[in-house]
Amino acid sequence: MISGASRGIGATAARLFAAAGYDLLLLARPSQEFDALAGELGQSGRRVETIGLDLGDPAAVGPGLDDLCGRGLIPSVVINNAGMAYTGPLAEMPLEQWQRVMQLNLTAVFQLCQALVPRLRAAGGGHIINVSSHAAHNAFPDWGAYCISKAGLVSLSRCLAAEERSHGIRVSTLTLGAVNTPLWESETVHSSFDRRAMLDVERAAEALLYLAQQPATLVVEDLTLMPAAGAF
């Protein structure tokens, strides 16, 4: 299962996992991009189930997941990839923007995990991989809400790992430096970074597959990838 699967890291990971022999459960907001990806992956020979779902709407998460998991596939690997950012000083950020960042980057992950953990327990275990950022461990001006949401995600991952270890559920965090994704083109993000120096989505997707393919007898608790040019 991959959230935020319509483009960027999520779409690239979906293609990579299908090529590696995985069936797919894909979540993303409804879009032509998502429909096109579903059609493309439908030709891969793997089973692909999709649902158009806005994880920014907390009331929609549970019913949407019940619909998707009710189609007969229970994920062995869950990749929480969906995310967003608003840039701007914390002192001036409207509450609505703060709440949406927290909902999409943190609370929706909690909701998905809470809904999926009973299913993973019943299946004998599984692997949850949460896509985080080096912003979780650093303070960047005008990125405060994003930094805080990702710091919360790291703590959520550690707590969930401790609680679910006895049930055979492993939890990993993929910590990424700046990645050249459509995030930088969104109306809510204002930056002038050189995107050519960023990580590319293929490397991030390969890291997700690497984590997923580790044997059940071990867990990589955190894997960090940074651009060679350093943090920005």
| Residue 130 dihedral angles phi and psi, to the nearest 5° | -105, 125
Structure token digits, residue 30: 């409804």
Q: Identify the sign of the CA torsion 49, 163, 55, 61.
A: positive
Active-site residue list: 146
Alpha-carbon 222 to chain mean position: 14
Q: Name the one residue in this structure whose structure tokens are 């009710």.
A: 70
Q: In 14-25, which positions are buried (b, 16+ CB within 10 angstroms) versus exposed (e)? A: bbbbbeeebebb
